[in-house]
Structure 1
Amino acid sequence: MPTAAAPPPPTATPSSPPVLEIPQKGFAAVSTRRSTLTKSVALLTALVALAACSRAGGDAGAASDAPAVDKGPAAEIRLGYFPNVTHAAALIGVDKGLFAKELGGTKLTTQTFNAGPEAVNALLGESLDATFIGSGPAINAFAKSKGEAIRLISGATSGGAQLVVKPEISSAADLKGKVITTPQLGNTQDVSLKKWLSDQKLGVGAGADQVNVTNTENAQSLDLFKKGEVQGAWAPEPWSSRLVLDAGAKVLLDEKSLWEGGKFPTTVLIVRTQFLKDHPQTVEALLKGHLAATDLAQGNKVEAKQVVNNALKALTGKSLGEPVLDRAFDNIELTLDPQAKTFPQLAKDAVTAGVAKEAAAVSGLADFTLLNKVLTAAGKPSVDTAGLDKK
C-alpha cells in the first residue's frame, strides 16, 4: 500500500532579532541600533516568506492559489485502473498502446487496484498521478483533501453494476439475515448497496432483521457465493455476469433502474490537481488516448472484447467465457461523459449509506477544459459540466 508523502519539516518560530551592539555616543549610537534592527527585521521577514513558499511548494497533492505554470510534458505519468470490464477503456488503451502513442516521450507506468479506496490512497500519497476509478471514491478523495488534491477530467463507463442474489431471494425483505458483499468499504458499489438498503428501510448489521454487508474482493465473493457462505453481491462487471452465469445467481436489481435514463457514472478518470497544473500537455495526451480507446470499443466491439479478455487474463490469470464477456459488455456504455449532474446526488447518497457524515461539497470537482478541447478537435459534442467546475 502506498504511503502518504511525509509532511514538510517544521519551521522554527523566529525569536526577537539580535541587535549588534557597537559602542557609540549620543544620537549616532541610537541611529546605528535602529538601522541594525530595521535590517534584521527585513531579513527575518524575507526568510519567513521564503519558508512559507517552501511549505506550499512541498505539498504536491494540493492545489495552490498561485497561477498555473505549464512545465511541459511530464517525464512519466503513473496511471491506475482496475481489472474489470467497467474499466474497458483503460484496459484497451494500455494493451493497444493507445495511451503510449499519444504520450510520446512521456513514460507510462501502470498499477491495478481491486477497488477505489486503494487508488485514492495512492493518489493522496502522491504515488499515482491519474486513475480510472468509481464515482464514490472520486468524491471521497476530493472531500478528504478539502477540494484540493484531485480533479475529475473525464467519464469512462456508465452502467454495469447489479445486485445479484441466490435464486430463492425475490425481494428486498428476503435479504434480512443474509450476507451480501461489496468490493471494498466505501467504494462505489458499497455506497450504492447501503443507500438502497436504507431506502428499503433495511438496516445494516448482523441481526436477524438486518442485512450483513461484508467487503470482499470480487474474485473471493464469487468463490464464497458458490460455497453458500454469502447470498449475494452488489458487483461491477464482469463479476455480476460471472455470478449469474457461472454461479447460478439471479439479478434482484440492476442499478440502471435507479437513475434517470439508466445512466450513472460507474467509472470516471481523475488526476492529481498539481499534475494537471504542471503538465496539461500530458493530461491532454492521456485524454486523447482515452478517446481513441473508447472509439475503438464503440466501432469494433468484437476486437474490444478480445483485447479486454486478453488483458484480464494477463492481470488475473484467467480469461472470461464468451457468454460472460458478451453479457458484461451489453450491460455497460463506454463514454467520456461522466454524467456530472449526478454527483451532487452521489455525495448525498454517501451520507444515506452511512459512509460519510455529511454530503461532500462537489463544486469545483470537475475540470473538463482539456476534455472538451479533445472532443471538439475530434468533431464530437462537448461534455456538460453541470456547474461542477464552479466553486
Structure 2
Amino acid sequence: MKKLAGLLSLLLMFTLVISACGTKSNSASSTENLTVKVGILKNVTHAPGFVALQNGYFQNGFGKNVKIEVTGFDNGSDFSTAMATNQIDIGFVGPGPAINQYLKSKNFRVISGSNNGGAVLIARKDAGIKSVKDLVGKTVAIPTKGSTNEISLRLLLQQEGLKVSTDTSGVQMITRAPADTLVAIRQKEVDATLIPEPWGTQMVEEGIGQVLVDWDKIPPNNGDYPLTLLLASDDFLKNHRDLAKKAIKANLDGINFIKENPTKAYDLVSAELKELSGKGMDAKLIKAALDHLKLTDEVNADAIKAMAKVSFDAGYIKGLKEDELDLSKFIDLSLLNEVKKEK
C-alpha cells in the first residue's frame, strides 16, 4: 500500500512538472514569430516615434523574438484606414482623420499623446495678405481633407467670421501634400497654407512666405491641441496588452530623449525620415519644428471633441446625428497611467 502511495505521489509530481514546463513554454512562445506592424507619418512632428525607433526603444521593449515592421504614411487618412482594417497594429497620427475613421469602425483607440501644436498659417509674401480676414477670395492649401490642419483652419476662419467657399465670396481650400505646397507657394499657385512645421519655417527662410498666425495661436486652445497621438487597434490591445504598454513607454522615452538631448535628436529624426521617405532633413529645420510644438503624453479630450464637431459640420462624418458623436471609448489612457505608475 505504501509502495502504491509512493508511486502515485511520484506520478503526481511528474504530471505537475510536465504541466509547469508546458505552461512556461506556451508563455515564452506567445511572441515567437510575432510581427508588430507600426505606422507613422513622414512628418517631423512625429519626432518621438522617430527617436523611439532609431534608439531601439520599441525593439528593446518588445523583445528580440518580435519583428517590427514600420510603414510610413503620407497622410493621416491613409494611416487611419490602415489601422481600421488591421494593416497596422499601432502607430502615430493626428486626431482629425483618426476621429473620422473611428466613428465609422470603432475598432481602435488613443492610448497616449505624443505632441501638441506644431502647425502654422503661412501667407505667400506677395499675395497681399496681412491678416486672416484678407484670406477672403484667396486659396489656402491644407495637407488632406479632414486633416487636423483643416480642422484648425476652419476654426480659425470661424473665429474671424469667415466661411469656406468654392468662389471668391469666402476662403477656398485645396489639398496639397506639404512638399507640393512648398512648390505651389514658390510658383504662386496658392496664396496661403496651414501646414505642419518645418515646412512653414522653410517658406519663411526662402523668402517666399511669412507667418500669418504662429503655432501658439492656432486653434483650438492656442496651439495646445493634440497634433500627434499614439493609437492601437482593439485586436492588438486585446491580444498584446503588455506590448502596447511597451509601445507607450517607447513613446515616453522618445519624448524624454528629445527634451534632454535635443541636438542628438536632430540626427536621429533625420535618419528615420530618410528611411521612411528616402531623404533626410537639415538639423536647422528639425529644430524649428521641435521648437514650435509641445512634446507631451497628455491628451486634451475637450480639444478632440471640438475637432469632432468641426469635422461633423464640414460633412466628413456621415450617417450620424450630432448627438451621436460618441467618443467616450476613443481615448483610453488606462495603459498610460499604468506605465507611469510602474516607473
TM range (shorter): 0.7 to 0.9
Supply the distance in 2 between the matched residues of 1:159 and 1:194 (Cα, whole angstroms): 16
Could you say which residue in structure 2 is the equivalent of 1:26? none
What's the offset of the Cα at 1:331?
A: 0.4
Contact 1:182 1:233 in 2 (8 A): yes
Structure 2 counterpart of 1:228: 188
- Is structure 2 residue 275 aligned with structure 1 residue 314? yes
1:132 aligned counterpart, secondary structure: strand
| Aligned partner of residue 319 in structure 1, secondary structure | coil
User: For residue 152 of structure 1, what is the aligned residue in structure 2?
Assistant: 110
Query: 1:373 matched to which residue of 2?
Result: 338
CA contact (8 A) 1:72 1:278 kept: no
The letter for the 2-side match of 1:169 is I
**Would you say how many aligned residue pairs link Structure 1 and Structure 2?**
306
Unpaired runs of 5+ in structure 2?
Answer: 1-28
**Match 1:334 to one of 290, 295, 299:** 295
- For residues 200-211 of structure 1, the aligned pairs below 5 Å read 200-211=160-171
Cα gap change, 1:322 to 1:246, in 2 (>3 Å) = farther
* C-alpha RMSD of the superposition: 2.0
Write the distance in 2 (CA, Å) between the matches of 1:281 and 1:222: 42
Partner-residue secondary structure (3-state), 2:327: coil
For 2:275, the aligned partner's letter is A
- Check if 1:363 corresponds to 2:328: yes
Farther off after superposition, 124-133 or 244-253: 244-253
Distance in 2 between residues matched to 1:79 and 1:181, nearest whole Å: 29
Query: Are 1:94 and 2:53 matched, yes or no?
Result: yes
SS at match of 1:345: helix
Shift of 1:313: 3.1
Larger radius of gyration: 1
CA pair 346-88 structure 1, distance change in 2 beyond 3 A: same
Which runs of 5 or more structure 1 residues have no equivalent in the other structure? 1-70, 379-391
Q: How far did 1:73 drift? A: 4.2
The alignment status of 1:186 with 2:146, answered yes or no, reads yes
Q: How far apart in 1 are the matches of 2:207 and 2:177?
A: 16
Q: What is residue 21 of structure 2 aligned with on the other side?
A: none
**How big is the shift at 1:151?**
1.1
Q: TM-score, normalised by structure 2?
A: 0.83
Provide Cα deviations, 1:329-352, integer angstroms capped at 9, x if missing partner.
Answer: 110122111223322222112234
Compute the displacement of 1:370 (Å).
1.5
Partner residue, 2:123:
165
Task: State whether residues 100 and 311 of structure 2, in contact with CA within 8 Å, keep that contact through their aligned partners in structure 1.
Answer: no
Tell me if the contact between 1:114 and 1:183 (Cα under 8 Å) persists in the aligned partners.
no
Partner residue in 2 for 1:49: none
Whole-Å Cα distance in 2 between the matches of residues 172 and 295 of structure 1?
Answer: 36
In the aligned structure 2, how far is the partner of 1:130 from the partner of 1:204? Answer: 34
Larger RCO (alpha carbons 8 Å, 6+ apart): 2
Task: Report the Cα distance in structure 2 between the residues aligned to 1:255 and 1:348, rounded to whole angstroms.
Answer: 21
- Letter of the 1:121 counterpart: T
Contact kept in structure 1, 2:139 and 2:173, CA below 8 Å: yes
Partner of 2:232: 271
Query: For the Cα contact (< 8 Å) 2:152–2:220, is it kept in 1?
Result: no
- Tell me the amino acid that sits aligned with residue 235 of structure 1: I
Return the offset for 1:83.
Answer: 1.6
**Secondary structure of the structure 1 residue equivalent to 2:232:** strand
Structure 1 residue 255: Cα displacement: 4.6
More helix by percentage: 2
Moved more, 296-305 or 258-267: 258-267
1:128-179 CA-to-partner distances (Å, cap 9, x unmatched) read 111200011221222112xx30111000111101111113311222212222
Matched AA of 1:308: V
Q: How far apart in 1 are the matches of 2:37 and 2:96?
A: 21
1:247 CA displacement = 4.9
In the superposition, the TM-score normalised over structure 1's length comes to 0.74
In structure 2, relative to structure 1, the CA distance for the partners of 1:73 and 1:371 (3 Å cut) is: farther
Q: What SS does the corresponding residue of 1:204 show, helix, strand or coil?
A: coil
Structure 2 residue 311 is matched with structure 1 residue 350: yes
Code of the aligned partner of 2:123: V
State whether residues 166 and 231 of structure 1, in contact with CA within 8 Å, keep that contact through their aligned partners in structure 2: yes
